[in-house]
Amino acid sequence: MINSIDIQGHRGCRGLMPENTIPAFLHAIDLGVNTLELDVVATKENVVYVSHEPFFNHEISTAPNDKEITVANEKQYNMYNMSMEEIAAIDVGLKPHPRFNVQKKLAAVKPTLASMVQEVEYYLKNNNLSPILYNIEIKREPQNDHIYHPEMSHFADLVCNELKELDILDRTTVQCFDVETLKYIHTQYPDIDLVYLVMDTNPFEMNVNNLGFVPAVYSPYFKLVTPDLISYGKNKGMKIIPWTVNEEEEIISMLDMKVDGIISDYPDRLIEIVESRKSIR
């Protein structure tokens, strides 16, 4: 890892390329990330897809024949109820992003997890590159079971068994905001390293106690990181990897607190700052 910091490309490299697409992941590898961070959803047909939402977000999606996907109708494009053919027909790379104005535009679709990993592994091998790590978020919300995704245990089983089949378990962490999902995987798949995603303001000790075990990684919104959390993580043998850290002053603040890794939409910025700090020591 660069300077012992785990540099994770958020959704590939969302600030630079269309999120959670194969071109974004390959570009992140070229930039020099250690870990590809991504999200997964699942359909009724038991296909696991790389996607942040279980529907086609209006900010990034264009339906066939340039049909407009809007805030009002985006949830009608529910991937859980869609076929592979229907999902493949919607572009997620050409629409200008309202918040990432330097993001390159190109034709792209939401890949299955299997196709994404296969493309990445082929790219690594073909270019004689070192193995990459994966940090995969299961996008489960209890109230959406059987509406936008399978029920919890089935969803978790789908993802974990696919990771086994793809033979990347030893290079993968599974992350989730949902405590129930993390507890289930901890019991059923004890060899998988788990990441507890956090965005609430509860004391971190309370969150870990509520989880019932010490996860491999505690991953809070970056503004929740404090020196006390860093000390707690070290005492527990638990890494602290905040999300999503994009601006220079934010990156420097996290590095100064000695986090174990950083998730960023702009891994190029992160790498440049880490390298510059290393060169002046």
What does DSSP say about strands 48-50 and 35-42: parallel, antiparallel, or unpaired? Answer: antiparallel
Core vs surface per residue 124-142: b (16+ CB within 10 A) or e: eeeeeeeebbbbbbbbbee
**CA neighbor of 154 nearest in space, from 199, 103, 188, 202:** 188
In the structure encoding, which two tokens stand for residue 111, read together?
């890949």
- For a pLDDT cut of 90, what percent of the chain falls above it? 96
Give the span between the Cα atoms of 17 and 14, in whole angstroms: 5
pLDDT over 70 (residue 37): yes
In the structure encoding, which two tokens stand for residue 156, read together?
């978790």
Averaged pLDDT, 271-281: 85
At 1, the pLDDT band (50, 70, 90 cuts) reads: very low
pLDDT in tens, 191-220: 999 999 999 999 999 999 999 999 999 999
User: Would you state the pLDDT for residue 281?
Assistant: 59
- pTM (whole model) above 0.85: yes
In the structure encoding, which two tokens stand for residue 175, read together?
């992350």
8-state DSSP, 45:
T
- How far is CA 264 from each of CA 62, 153, 184, rounded to the nearest angstrom? 25, 30, 28
For residues 217 and 210, is the Cβ–Cβ distance under 8 A?
Answer: no
Averaged pLDDT, 156-183: 98
- Counting beta carbons within 10 angstroms of the beta carbon of residue 4, is it exposed (0 to 12), middle (13 to 18) or buried (19 or more)? exposed
User: Would you state the pLDDT for residue 135?
Assistant: 99
- For a pLDDT cut of 70, what percent of the chain falls above it? 98
In the structure encoding, which two tokens stand for residue 4, read together?
């012992």
**CA neighbor of 120 nearest in space, from 134, 141, 110:** 134
pLDDT in tens, 56-108: 999 999 999 878 999 999 999 999 999 999 999 999 999 999 999 999 999 99
**CA neighbor of 109 nearest in space, from 127, 130, 87:** 87
What sign has the CA pseudo-torsion 210, 200, 142, 93? negative
Give the span between the Cα atoms of 92 and 62, in whole angstroms: 6
Give the span between the Cα atoms of 117 and 167, in whole angstroms: 10
